[in-house]
């Protein structure tokens, strides 16, 4: 595979170096047979590069219109993976401009078929706010599934899926990347209810759903995802009673941590969650305020264990 890829790069370089070549010339320069040249030209066409040919003795080849491009030998999944990585880089401090520039350059050298897929992914995606890390491994999201969802968003086509073993048909609206997770904001046509759905918890079904007329989303997409995930989208959910007013809690937390509710007695409730009880305990401990944990039981037990551990550290 590596020798074939290297030969394809060399073939593209030759085709870009002058207007046209005979098959015999290309075979001689590459050190292969005429049949191999024909097969490699077919591979380039499969990748989306327009290579024109004139049949006849010796045959002649040239790059078609719009093909004055640096060689790019990426398959669909590789192209999407690079685009996703560059899209993520635009949300990192110090890499905003360079990440966006690199993504733009990548799209310019892609064959039209891949460029349309990556453009669908970019236009359908927003990055959420940064947050603290987790002790749980990042979920794996199939690049082909991410592409299929973004194309469905672009084309206003419904999707059918299993979501945590529940069959759903959704109208996909937008993708939000947050905390190294992908969330699909979608509308349930049966109830007209909006919700964020973790893409790694989805298993797409074929054929897909029906085409739909997109409705206007009522509010800010990223704020909606953060709020709803804090309420119902984590693996672990918790309601923490904090011995301080809501405004004091809000002043101390990242908006991505959760939501805060005021209590009549001047205290407040932090509705939060995380991938594990360890992560939630870290976030709550960083408040710097007195708090009481009553639910879920596994978090109560973990905080009790931490209290004993810290107590022993002072002996």
DSSP for 126-150, written as a single string: EE-------SSPPPP--HHHHHHHH
Domains of the chain in start order, with CATH, are 2-63 (1.10.10.10), 124-219 (no CATH), 234-313 (3.30.70)
Strands (E) located in the chain: 21-22, 51-54, 60-63, 125-127, 159-163, 166-178, 181-188, 193-198, 202-205, 236-242, 258-262, 268-274, 291-293
Q: In which residue ranges of the chain is pLDDT below 50?
A: 1-2, 68-69, 92-95
pLDDT of residue 69: 47
The span from the CA of 233 to the CA of 270, in Å, is 15
Residue with tokens 């305990």: 281
Pairing of strands 268-274, 258-262: antiparallel
- Backbone phi, then psi, for 203, in 5-degree steps? -125, 110
Q: Bridge-partner residues for 196, per DSSP?
A: 185
Q: Which SS3 state, helix, strand or coil, does residue 16 take?
A: helix
Q: What is the pLDDT of residue 279?
A: 85
CB atoms within 10 A of CB 66: 10
Res 65: pLDDT: 59
Helix residue spans in 124-245 (DSSP H): 143-155, 221-228
Provide the 3-class DSSP secondary structure of residue 80: helix
pLDDT for res 87: 65
DSSP state of 200: G
**pLDDT tens digits for 149-178?**
999 999 999 999 999 889 999 999 999 887
Locus of tokens 């918790």: 238
What pLDDT shows up at residue 245?
A: 94
């Amino acid at each position: 595979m590596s020798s074939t890829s290297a030969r394809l790069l060399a073939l593209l370089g030759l085709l870009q170096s002058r207007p046209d070549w005979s098959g015999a010339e290309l075979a001689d320069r590459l050190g292969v047979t005429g049949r191999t040249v024909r097969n490699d030209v077919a591979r380039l066409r499969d990748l989306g590069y327009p290579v024109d040919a004139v049949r006849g003795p010796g045959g002649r080849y040239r790059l078609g219109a719009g093909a004055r491009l640096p060689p790019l030998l990426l398959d669909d999944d590789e192209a999407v993976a690079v685009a996703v990585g560059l899209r993520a880089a635009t949300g990192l401090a110090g890499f905003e401009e360079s990440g966006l520039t690199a993504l733009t350059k990548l799209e310019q050298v892609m064959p039209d078929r891949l460029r349309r897929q990556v453009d669908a992914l970019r236009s359908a995606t927003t990055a959420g706010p940064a947050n603290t890390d987790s002790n749980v491994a990042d979920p794996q999201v199939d690049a082909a599934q991410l592409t299929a969802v973004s194309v469905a968003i672009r084309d206003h086509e419904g999707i059918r899926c299993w979501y945590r073993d529940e069959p759903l048909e959704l109208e996909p609206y937008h993708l939000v990347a947050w905390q190294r997770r992908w969330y699909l904001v979608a509308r349930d046509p049966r109830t007209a209810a909006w919700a964020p759905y973790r893409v790694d918890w989805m298993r797409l079904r074929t054929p897909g759903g029906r085409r739909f007329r997109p409705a206007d989303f009522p509010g800010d997409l990223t704020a909606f995802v953060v709020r709803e995930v804090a309420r119902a989208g984590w693996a672990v959910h918790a309601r923490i009673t904090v011995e301080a007013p809501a405004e004091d809690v809000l002043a101390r937390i990242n908006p991505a941590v959760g939501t805060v509710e005021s209590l009549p007695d001047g205290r407040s409730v932090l509705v939060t969650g995380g991938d594990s009880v360890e992560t939630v305990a870290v976030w709550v401990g960083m408040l710097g305020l007195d708090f009481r944990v009553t639910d879920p039981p596994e978090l109560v037990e973990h905080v009790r264990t931490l209290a004993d551990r810290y107590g022993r550290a002072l002996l």
